[in-house]
Chain A
Amino acid sequence: MITIGIWIAAGLTLCIYSFLYKDNPFYKFAESFYVGISAGYWLIYTYAYVIQPMLIEPIRNRGEFVLLIPAFFGLIMLSRWVPKIAWLSRWSIAFMVGIGAGLGVTGYIQGFLIPQIQATILPITGFNITSLNNLIIIVGVITTLLYFYFSKEHKGILGWTSRIGITFIMIAFGASFGYTVMARISLLIGRFYFLIYDWIIPIFG
């Protein structure tokens, strides 16, 4: 059974990689297959692990009828498919936006803004590597923020500082790009590792 799974996975991997040569029916088949399987899996999983244990069972076995309220809001989201009653979905959307905004604002201030401001207030004492690192962080944050100050033309001191800011931004982009290259190569390594050690080598014993 495992061997069949490995052969299917290896075959589909090769179908997907065949796109690197050019678009072809094998690639299209694998792509459609992946989308279909993912959607089917998602649907079954949602029913088995969400709707069944979190809605049907509590109502049937424990009489938790209060769950009918969120179920109703969930159902009217589907009203968007019927133009005449599509307005009903706005109630659910309003509920989600309200909760999302409430949680988001407090979470952002508490989890991002304040800790990050605290982390930028750093000591610069004496000539040592820690002070140098702290200085780079402070200069980086201030000059980057100044780069995004658009209420005054970037000339003179503001021009110089924003140029330093854009340099920091470029370095950050470079680091991000480097990491992205690493990520893509890692995925390739993962697939080749699978093809070589789980598929090809066992074939030849």
Chain B
Amino acid sequence: MNIIKKLANIDRRIIFIVIAIVVIIPLIFKPKFPIVVSEPVQKAYDAVNNLPEGANVMISIDYDAASMPELQPYLEALLSHCFMKDFHPILIVQWQLGAPLGTQALEKIAAEYNKEYGIDYINLGYRPGYVAQMVGIGREIRTYFNSDYKGDLIEKYPVMNNIHNYDDIDLLIGLEAGATGQVWVQYAGARFDQRIVLALTAVSAPDAYFFFQSGQIEGLVGGMKGAAEYEILVDKPDMAVAGMAAQSFAHMLIILFIVFGNIAYFVDKRKKNKAKGGIK
């Protein structure tokens, strides 16, 4: 009884330390855990993989540093996938604090595959007013993005020669830490029939499943787990795969905490009821 009471009133700092240990140990020793690819991620992969040769893939960076561990691994895996298949990634940014993250990943992966800026890929950077912009791209992308992230006119880059609106974009992929993905679905998807795949932070993912069920998006990559599945699919295991063992151990620990917490709560409640002379 005493142990249960102690567990119910455990110092939260002890819980923090235990969680830290449970996360750090698997990260160091890297035990291999099987990663099963789920249907939404498989479909996200297929949507990219089955694009025609030389396809233009628009990637929207709608997150910032706070969501980096969840979305950056997917961005890198996705860019690798695009460059492996000789597609043309066109990077745009809706969250201005995310701009350096997109640029960082694009430059790193493009260098790995010896791709040339302006010919194989382009970074158009950030523009304000995303709703008007999403509608505007449906007519002419140059209305909003007449220059790239360095301020150079896009006319000088061959990759942009034949890109004017959604008709010239084979797939739009939004990396989302908020509700911007829903706006892509609302405007680019519903109004212009743009094919869309969304990759979301785990917090936002449940809000996008109904788009996947209704067919409004072709694939869904949720959180670091989704990124790990994508890394497996492109055969480039990296940080997300390395983090899955730690994720599993931490989840097991949290389940144990919840079970113990509930047992302690009910035992304590029963004890109090007995002390009051109650029966419940």
B267 within 8 A of A: no
B188 to A, closest residue via Cβ: A111
- The residue from B16, B210, B213 contacting A20, defined by CB atoms under 8 A apart: B16
- The residue from B69, B132, B203 contacting A193, defined by CB atoms under 8 A apart: B69
- The residue from B128, B151, B202 contacting A182, defined by CB atoms under 8 A apart: B202
Contacting pair A21 B13 (CB below 8 A): yes
Once bound together, how far apart are the Cα atoms of A115 and B187, in whole Å? 13
Contacting pair B99 A186 (CB below 8 A): no
A205 within 8 A of B: no
Q: For this complex, into which size category does the number of interface residues on chain A fall?
A: 35 or more
Contacting pair B128 A50 (CB below 8 A): yes
Cβ proximity bits A176-203 to B, threshold 8 Å, 1 near / 0 not: 1001111101111111110010000000
Q: Which applies to chain B's interface (DSSP): helix, strand, loop or mixed?
A: helix
Distance (Å) between the CB of B1 and the closest chain A CB? 29
Once bound together, how far apart are the Cα atoms of A88 and B250, in whole Å? 54
Which residues 116-159 of B sit at the A interface, judged by CB distance below 8 A? 125-128, 131-132, 135, 147, 149, 151
How many residues from B make CB contacts under 8 Å with A? 56
- Interface stretch, picked from A39-47, A143-151, A153-161, is A39-47
Contacting pair A196 B203 (CB below 8 A): no
Contacting pair B201 A183 (CB below 8 A): yes
Residues of A within 8 A of B225 (CB): 182, 186
A132 within 8 A of B: no
Once bound together, how far apart are the Cα atoms of A137 and B242, in whole Å? 36
Once bound together, how far apart are the Cα atoms of A41 and B239, in whole Å? 28
- The residue from B67, B69, B182 contacting A189, defined by CB atoms under 8 A apart: B69
Contacting pair B186 A111 (CB below 8 A): yes
Cβ proximity bits A49-63 to B, threshold 8 Å, 1 near / 0 not: 110011000000000
Given contacts A107-B190, A192-B246, 18 further A-B contacts (CB under 8 A): A45-B126, A49-B96, A50-B128, A53-B147, A103-B131, A107-B131, A107-B191, A115-B214, A119-B214, A180-B203, A185-B19, A186-B247, A187-B69, A188-B20, A189-B69, A189-B250, A193-B242, A196-B24
Residues in B lying within 8 Å of A, measured CB to CB = 13, 16, 19-20, 23-24, 27-28, 66-70, 96-97, 99, 125-128, 131-132, 135, 147, 149, 151, 182-183, 185-187, 189-191, 201-203, 205-206, 210, 213-216, 222-225, 239, 242-243, 246-247, 250-251, 254
Residues in A lying within 8 Å of B, measured CB to CB = 20-21, 38, 41-42, 45-46, 49-50, 53-54, 99-100, 103, 107-108, 110-112, 115-116, 118-119, 137, 172, 175-176, 179-183, 185-193, 196
